[in-house]
Homo-oligomer: A and B are copies of this chain.
Amino acid sequence: MTIAAPIAKSLQRASWIRQMFEAGARLKQQYGADQVFDFSLGNPILEPPPKVHETLHALLDDPAPGNHRYMPNGGFTAVREYLASELKEEQDLPFVTADVVLCVGAGGGLNVVAKALLEPGDEVVALAPYFVEYGFYVQNHGGVLTVARTQQEDFLPDLEALEAVMTPKTRAIIVNSPNNPTGVVYSQEVLDDLGSWLRTQEQRFGHPIYLIADEPYRKLLFDEVTNGSVLKAHPHSILITSHSKDLGLAGERIGYIALHPEVPDRALWQEALVFTNRILGFVNAPALMQRALPHLRGVQVDIGFYQQLRDQICGLMEDVGISCVRPQGAFYLFPQALEEDDVAFVRRAQEEKILLVPGSGFGWPGCFRLSYCCPSSVIENSREAWLRLVESYC
């Protein structure tokens, strides 16, 4: 009896992923990092735009006292005001300051919302393939993650599959667009359909069912595509995002939660999010990064850089004969593996020094996730390895 048994079990279950990462690390050590084609990590490669450091320098030189002290648990009022007014303009909805709560990245925000919402046994639906952390975030607070598959051909929501997993205990659905692991973007039409369907489900079960949007990639869009808004699609919706990707600040843990102005018991919700942000030990989002946000309106990393990588990797996949849904956002690709057993496929790719993540890790066996958040040279130099890998299946 040392650590909690469920944690020990989770660590054990995760051991195959760890083994895979360790194998990758060994490859890099053995052959040199530049000889290994690492497509396994979702760690934003672009540095923050110069304006970010300029802003941070200026904030550090601000002689006003109290800048690094505790502020109200929801964040600095001026920063919440700024974000609320930005959202008001962007979403054309009457946000007020208290609808916005600054949080420790989107991962922190999802836990804050789950803690505020869930009672033991309450269910949250994820749409497979999905980010594996959702399972933990829901279980952390006594909830149960249920899973509905998306449409095989385009990874968009499948309302029939969704309807099949709904129960009286379903409290929310999590959507993630642009999507990890598929790179698919949900249009407004897709979300509007989901919203209409949700309202029929709310009538069916007689209580609100929340549409929770996890949108860390919301600014990473290609081909002039628009990311649909959950806030416009369903009045019982909550947006959670971070500046990990658009400002290249993943390690700084800065994000926010925005409550739809029409959520039921709005004042209670506002208060609950501030409270759970506090009692989960986040206390508040990091002060310095909060204060930077109002100075960074419209600032973002060069999205074109990711789009070029997308074009390059899609070209390569086509050349070597691996088919996939062409992503329009984020920095992932989710192609079909060349054998049914995606774990075996990923192991075989490792033999060619290509590091990938099996689709099983996203609740969708048979595919693999390729992160092209890497230098262009990694993609280019991997061509021969991919050809050998594909050939080995012929």
Interface of A toward B, CB cutoff 8 Å: 1-8, 10-11, 14, 43-45, 47-48, 53, 56-57, 60-61, 65, 67-71, 104-105, 107-112, 115-119, 122, 133, 136-137, 140-141, 207-208, 244, 248-253, 263-265, 268-269, 271-272, 275-276, 278-289
Contacts and interface: CB of A to CB of B under 8 A. Distances in A.
A6 B275 CA distance: 12
A140 B280 contact: yes
Given A68-B47, A104-B282, A269 B2 contact: yes
A284 to B, nearest CB: 6
Given A7-B276, A288-B252, A68 B43 contact: no
A116 B282 CA distance: 17
A253 to B, nearest CB: 5
B279 A119 contact: no
Contacts of A47: 65, 68
A278 B110 CA distance: 13
What 10 pairs between A and B have smallest CB-CB spacing? Answer: A251-B287, A107-B281, A136-B279, A111-B281, A2-B265, A108-B281, A1-B207, A286-B286, A3-B272, A43-B70
Given A57-B57, A207-B1, A10 B253 contact: no
B253 A104 contact: yes
Contact of A140 (B8, B269, B279): B279
Contacts of A264: 2
Given A1-B207, A14-B275, 11 more contacts: A1-B208, A6-B119, A7-B272, A7-B275, A11-B268, A11-B275, A104-B104, A105-B281, A107-B283, A108-B281, A108-B283
